[in-house]
Chain A
Amino acid sequence: TDSFDFSRYHTISEIYSFQDMLVAENPNLVSKIVIGSSYEGRPLNVLKFSTGGTNRPAIWIDTGIHSREWVTQASGTWFAKKIVTDYGRDPALTAILNKMDIFLEIVTNPDGFAYTHSSNRMWRKTRKPNPGSSCAGVDPNRNWDSGFGGPGASSNPCSETYRGPRAHSESEVKSIVDFVKSHGNFKAFISIHSYSQMLLYPFGYTKTPAKDQAELHNLAQRAITDLASLYGTRYRYGSIINTIYQASGGTIDWTYEQGIKYSYTFELRDTGRYGFILPANQIIPTAQETWLALMAIMNHTYNNPY
């Protein structure tokens, strides 16, 4: 994986090969868990970074849940290499991995991602047909059983924010739900999107503040300060409903309600006017700056066990 070109966008098969190569190169640190399969039968691969122990407190990071947000899958690939490179070299990451596990799902919506390469670069949702409608796909960030079906999600299958027929109806979502529940010891859950440059915490479906709102807010502020220290990329931060808009059935509302305190959603850059079509030469700077914010959150999680 040393010759993998992180500064360009890759196809799903290239990313899947990268994952297998990374595991083969780092058998004592990285393993691959298939937590389920997508609607079209693609494996849902999760890389597990662990230095041993059983069921250690863990951190989850996912990228690519909205398939057209290419800089997120690309950053996820870079994060994977960063972890194996820095373990044993960076004291903070080494300390975290000596006590905690990190799980990274790079292509969280593989059918959608493949579809952005093959047919429609602007595809966002999953690809499962919706009976009775000519429009396919569910918004995987409106399909979680937390305020499901409330305002800020659509009941129209043709909408980009279609919530789905019922909560957890999409295998891409249900697989994560089942995995998180069966693991039972996640302490942080980070879901990564693009391109509004924000760091968000629960809730999206209700104005009721999260119990840990003050701590989450302060940690978010520290994280985005670290992020901005590299290239000056400015982020907004706050609860989803107060910072962007009401959105029900969202990922981190569900994870927070499962008791995973450090639940965050990133919206990565575009600092210019490219939106989802971020030039490939911005992949590595985006990943580098985001990593600083991720480390802030992971460090805090490690230093504040609960």
Chain B
Amino acid sequence: CDILWCSYQYEADTDPLDPGPYPDFCRALQRYQRCVDRISPGSCRGDLHYHSTKTVIPDLQRNYECERVLREENNPGPTRAVETTTRPSRNGGDNDSDSPGTNGRPPFFPDILSDAPETGGSQRCQYTGSRSFRHCGLFGD
């Protein structure tokens, strides 16, 4: 269950943002939702983090009126009700597929996490094996 990866990316996305009905924040929620939707539910059976996240994201999107905010963002009129006064995000805030700190390079966090193939590129370079992972680290003295 890769929910921690999705949550990490969401935290990185929203770290420099003020929560609220702002386009940057709503886009981060959208990314979070897409990432969670890519996870196979079977791999998260009994994982409270996963199930609560599935519930919380739509709640936040409703609370912050994200549907309207993003619609107005795409069709700006002369009387926009929502001020977009967020601090600039780490990634510039307007690239839907950027990962934290990628400086505009190709997005790879979702690629590694996702079972779904990326659009474009060769399928031959997609990992299709087991998604059971291990970690190793070395630090200090």
Asked whether A and B interact, the reply is: no
